[in-house]
Chains A and B, each alone.
Chain A
Amino acid sequence: MANFIRRLNEIPREELFASGHGLCAGCGIPPMVKIALKAVDGPKTVVNATGCLEVATTLYPNTAWRVPWVHNAFENAAATASGIEAALRALKRKRGWKDYKIIVFGGDGGTFDIGLQSLSGALERGHKFIYVCYDNEAYMNTGIQRSGATPIGAATTTSPAGRVIPGKPENKKNLLDIVLAHRVPYAATLNSAYPIDMWNKFAKASEYLDKGIGPIFFHYYSPCPVGWRMDSALSIEVARLAVQTRIWPLYEVEEGKIKINVMVRRPKPIEEYLKLQGRFRHLLKPENRHILEKIKEYVELNWNRLIRLSQLDSIY
C-alpha cells in the first residue's frame, strides 16, 4: 500500500538520520536524506559517494546513520551498489537472507563528472536501487570548484567572475537526459522547497522496488549557502524560486511518460533568483547582460522542450 502523503505533518517523527552531523546550516542535503530514509519503507542500506554528505556524517568514531551505510570512493558509488545488490540477490536465493532496499547518494561531482561511467554501467545493467544525485552545482566539499553541473555564468573557485571571463562559460549538463537514455523505469527531479512532492516520489520509488523494478534515479536540487554565497535562511526560498523561474522544472518520468509536477504558467523573472546568490551577482552588471540573456534563452529552451516532450505518450 502506497505510503503517499498530502501534508507535512503526516511524516513520522522518528529519524534514521541522526542530529549532530556536520552539514552546514541551510544545506539542502539533510532534509532530503531524512525524507528518503523514511519514505522508502522497510529495511534499507545506504551507499554514499565521497562528498559533503559522507564527510559530514561519519567522522570516526561517530556516525549519523541508523541504517547500514557504505562508503567506498568518489566515482564508484553506483558500482559499489551494484555489487551489494547482486550479492543480496545471490544470498537471498542461496541462503535465504532477508531483503533490503538500496539507496545511493552522490553529489554532482560524483555523479555528473567522475562517477558518470560507473552510473551508466549500473543503469545499463539494471540493478534495482534508487540513486539520488544531490546537486549543489559545484564541488562544494573541496572548496567550490566548478563541475559539469555548474550553471552558465556561475562563479566558482575554478570559474571565477574574472575581468575577461565572467564565471563558467558552459551550460549545465543535462544529467536526467543522460539517465533517460538508459530507459530507466522511473526518474524524477526533486527540490528541497517541495518536500511533499519529494516524499511521494520516494514512496513511489519504494513501491517500484517492492515490485522488483529499478533502477530509479532522482536529481535533487540541493541549495548550498556557502558555495552559492547566500544567507542560509534563504535556502528554501532560493530553491522555490528555482522552480518558479523554470530554472529547475519539477517533473517525473515513468516508463518514458513525462509528467510535470509543478506547472509554472507565469514564471518569475530570473533576476529574482540570481540576485540572492553571490555566485551570480556579477551577472546583473550591465557589461554581463549578454550572459544573462543566454541564461534566459537556455531556461526557455529547456522548458519549452520539456512541455513538448510531456505531450508525447512516451519519450522512450
Chain B
Amino acid sequence: MSITVRQIRTGLNGDEAVAYAVKHANVDVISAYPITPQTIIVERLSEFVYNGELDAEFIPVESEHSALSAALGASLAGARVFTATASQGLALMYEILYITSSLRAPVVMALGNRAFSAPINIHCSHDDAYAARDAGWIQFFAETVQEAYDLTLIAYRVSEDRDVLLPSIINLDGFILTHSVEPLNIFADSEEVSRFLPERKPVNPIDPDNPITYGPLALPDYYMEIKRQQAEAIYSSKPIINRVFEEYKEFSGRRYSPLKTLYIDDAETIFVLLGSTAGTIRHMVRKWRRENKRVGVVSLTLYRPFPEEELIEAIKDAKNIVVMDRSFSYGSPGGQLFMDVSSTLLKYGLSPRILNVIYGLGGRDFTPDLAEKALHLVVETDEKIVWLGVRG
C-alpha cells in the first residue's frame, strides 16, 4: 500500500470532519439551514468562507426546502455544491430529493441521522436516511468520524463522474458521530486533495451559448423511459463506486468497500446493520468468538445502490441472520433494512432464519447485553420482529 500524500493526525467530531472534507473538496456553493445535529458543519463552513480559507458562496437559506432547491440550481449551473441536514429538514426537502436525482444533479449532502418528530426528539434514528432511500440518491453510511471525512470526498468523485451524475448522501449518526470527537487523518489542504478530486467538469451546465431546457414536462409518452434511465443509472454507479474506493485507497491508504465484514466465513449467525452501532456489534463478535460462538457481522457502507451481490456473498452460508433497524416502517412487514435484506435473500433463493431487531430509536443506547439478547432470540423466538431496549 502506498500512501502518496501527507496527512495530518488530528481529533475532530463528525460534523467538523465533514466540514473539513467539504473545504478540501474546494466546493463552490454551500447552501444550508441550521438544524441540530448538523449545525456545526455549516458553522465551520461559514467560518472557512468568512475567514477566506474557502473560496465559496455560502447561501444562508430560509429553509431546508430552499437549501436543496438552491443547491440543485447551483449544481445545474456547474458548481460543486454542498448541503447538509437532519430529520425534519430532510423531510422538508423531500420533494426536491426526487427532482435533484432525476435532473441528474451531483449534489452532495451530509445527513446527521436523527429521529422524526413526534415526539420531537433530536437524537439518533435512521428515519431520515430511510425516508430518502427511494429517492434515487446514492447513500453512504459512516461508522466513524474518519469515514465521515473520507466518504464525503469519495461522494464527490462518484456523484460528479460523467457516467453517474447522481446526488449522494453521507449518513452519520446524530450526536454519536456528529458530536463525538475521534482521532482521524485528514489531508493538508484542498491542493493535496485535488489530486484525487480535481475541479468539477460539469456535463451540460447552464450556458446561454448552448441553451438547454432543464426540468420539462414529460407525460405518459416519455415519463417511463426517463425513469427507466434513472434506475439504470443508479445500478450502473456500483462499479464506479468500487473504482473510486480503489483509487481512494491508493491515495489515502484507507480501504473502503460496499460492506465491511468480520468473521463471516464460518459464521452460523450474522448481524447486518448500518451506522455507528456496527462498532458495538464488532466488539461483541470478537467476544463471542472467544467463547467459540460462530457469529459474524456485516455493516453496509453503501446503502443505495443496495450492495446485493456482496451481501449475498457474505451471508449465503449463515443459518441465522439478525437485521438491525434503527427506525421502523409502520405497518410494514418489518424495518426498512429488514425488508431490503429479506427481499434480497428471496431473490437469490435463500431462506435462513431471520430476525429483525428494532433498536436505538431516538438515541436510546444499544448496549452489549442487548446484542447478547439478540443473539439468543434469533434461535429461540419465533417472532420475526423484536424491539430491544424498550420498556413494556
* A interface, CB within 8 angstroms of B: 43-45, 47, 54-55, 58-61, 63, 65-73, 75-76, 78-84, 86-91, 93-95, 97-98, 100, 117-118, 120-121, 124-125
Measured CA separation A87–B78 after assembly (Å): 7
Q: Is the CB of B57 within 8 A of A45?
A: no
Measured CA separation A95–B60 after assembly (Å): 23
B153–chain A nearest beta-carbon distance, Å: 19
Q: Is the CB of A60 within 8 A of B222?
A: yes
Interface size class of B (residues with CB under 8 A): 35 or more
**B63 at interface, CB cutoff 8 A:** yes
Q: Is the CB of A84 within 8 A of B60?
A: no
Q: Which of A67, A79, A88 contacts B69 (CB 8 A)?
A: A79
A-B contact pairs, 18 of them (CB 8 A): A43-B209, A44-B208, A61-B222, A63-B213, A63-B216, A68-B212, A68-B213, A70-B76, A76-B66, A79-B70, A80-B69, A86-B70, A87-B28, A87-B57, A91-B79, A117-B63, A118-B66, A121-B66
Measured CA separation A68–B81 after assembly (Å): 20
Interface 0/1 of B195-239, CB less than 8 Å to A: 000010000001111011111111100100010000000000000
B130–chain A nearest beta-carbon distance, Å: 23
**B300 at interface, CB cutoff 8 A:** no
Measured CA separation A118–B93 after assembly (Å): 13
Measured CA separation A100–B31 after assembly (Å): 21
Q: Which residue of A lies closest to B60 (CB)?
A: A125
**If A60-B216, A72-B96, A73-B99 touch, does A84 touch B55 (CB 8 Å cutoff)?**
no
**If A79-B66, A81-B73 touch, does A90 touch B56 (CB 8 Å cutoff)?**
yes
**If A45-B206, A86-B31, A91-B28 touch, does A79 touch B61 (CB 8 Å cutoff)?**
yes
Measured CA separation A187–B209 after assembly (Å): 29
**If A43-B209, A87-B77, A87-B78 touch, does A121 touch B62 (CB 8 Å cutoff)?**
yes
Cβ contacts under 8 Å, A94 to chain B: 28, 55
Q: Is the CB of A83 within 8 A of B74?
A: yes
Q: Is the CB of B96 within 8 A of A55?
A: no
A69–chain B nearest beta-carbon distance, Å: 5
Measured CA separation A164–B87 after assembly (Å): 45
Q: Which of B57, B65, B222 contacts A79 (CB 8 A)?
A: B65
Q: Which of B59, B66, B96, B206 contacts A68 (CB 8 A)?
A: B206
* B interface, CB within 8 angstroms of A: 28-29, 31, 55-57, 59-63, 65-66, 69-79, 81, 95-96, 99, 103, 199, 206-209, 211-219, 222, 226
Measured CA separation A83–B31 after assembly (Å): 8
A231–chain B nearest beta-carbon distance, Å: 28
Q: Is the CB of B208 within 8 A of A67?
A: yes
Q: Is the CB of B209 within 8 A of A80?
A: no
Measured CA separation A118–B70 after assembly (Å): 10
A131–chain B nearest beta-carbon distance, Å: 14
Which among A55, A66, A68, A75 has the highest number of chain B CB atoms within 10 Å? A68
Q: Which of A54, A81, A90 contacts B79 (CB 8 A)?
A: A90
Measured CA separation A78–B214 after assembly (Å): 16
Measured CA separation A175–B79 after assembly (Å): 33
Q: Which of B29, B56, B199 contacts A83 (CB 8 A)?
A: B29
Q: Which residue of B lies closest to A62 (CB)?
A: B216
Q: Is the CB of B76 within 8 A of A84?
A: yes
Cβ contacts under 8 Å, A67 to chain B: 208, 211
Q: Is the CB of B211 within 8 A of A87?
A: no
Q: Is the CB of B59 within 8 A of A82?
A: yes
Q: Is the CB of A76 within 8 A of B96?
A: yes
Q: Is the CB of B213 within 8 A of A82?
A: no
Which among A47, A69, A84 has the highest number of chain B CB atoms within 10 Å? A84
A19–chain B nearest beta-carbon distance, Å: 16
Q: Which of A55, A76, A86, A117 contacts B57 (CB 8 A)?
A: A86
Q: Which residue of A lies closest to B67 (CB)?
A: A79
Q: Which of A59, A70, A82 contacts B214 (CB 8 A)?
A: A70
Measured CA separation A84–B79 after assembly (Å): 9
- Complex A-B, nearest 6 residue pairs according to Cβ-Cβ distance, in ascending order: A83-B73, A121-B62, A83-B70, A43-B208, A71-B215, A58-B216
Q: List 7 additional contacts besides A43-B209, A100-B206; criterion CB under 8 Å.
A: A65-B213, A67-B208, A76-B69, A81-B73, A83-B74, A84-B77, A90-B28
A203–chain B nearest beta-carbon distance, Å: 18
**If A54-B217, A58-B216, A60-B218 touch, does A83 touch B208 (CB 8 Å cutoff)?**
no
Q: Is the CB of B213 within 8 A of A69?
A: yes
Q: Is the CB of A72 within 8 A of B65?
A: no
Q: Which residue of A lies closest to B199 (CB)?
A: A95
Q: Which residue of B lies closest to A74 (CB)?
A: B95
Cβ contacts under 8 Å, A86 to chain B: 29, 31, 57, 59, 70, 74, 79
Cβ contacts under 8 Å, A95 to chain B: 199
B248–chain A nearest beta-carbon distance, Å: 24
Q: Is the CB of B28 within 8 A of A82?
A: no
Cβ contacts under 8 Å, A84 to chain B: 73-74, 76-77, 206
Cβ contacts under 8 Å, B60 to chain A: 125
Which among A65, A72, A100, A118 has the highest number of chain B CB atoms within 10 Å? A72
Q: Is the CB of B63 within 8 A of A87?
A: no
Measured CA separation A68–B77 after assembly (Å): 10
Q: Is the CB of A71 within 8 A of B214?
A: yes
Q: Which of B74, B217, B218, B226 contacts A87 (CB 8 A)?
A: B74
Measured CA separation A79–B62 after assembly (Å): 9
A298–chain B nearest beta-carbon distance, Å: 31
Cβ contacts under 8 Å, A75 to chain B: 65
Q: Is the CB of A72 within 8 A of B212?
A: no
Cβ contacts under 8 Å, A81 to chain B: 73
Q: Which residue of B lies closest to A82 (CB)?
A: B70
**If A82-B73, A90-B56 touch, does A65 touch B78 (CB 8 Å cutoff)?**
no
A128–chain B nearest beta-carbon distance, Å: 12
Cβ contacts under 8 Å, A80 to chain B: 69-70, 72-73
Q: Is the CB of B217 within 8 A of A58?
A: yes
Q: Which of A70, A90, A97 contacts B215 (CB 8 A)?
A: A70
Measured CA separation A95–B200 after assembly (Å): 11
Q: Which residue of A lies closest to B204 (CB)?
A: A68
Q: Which residue of B lies closest to A48 (CB)?
A: B215
Cβ contacts under 8 Å, A124 to chain B: 62
Q: Is the CB of A118 within 8 A of B57?
A: no
Q: Which of A60, A73, A93 contacts B95 (CB 8 A)?
A: A73
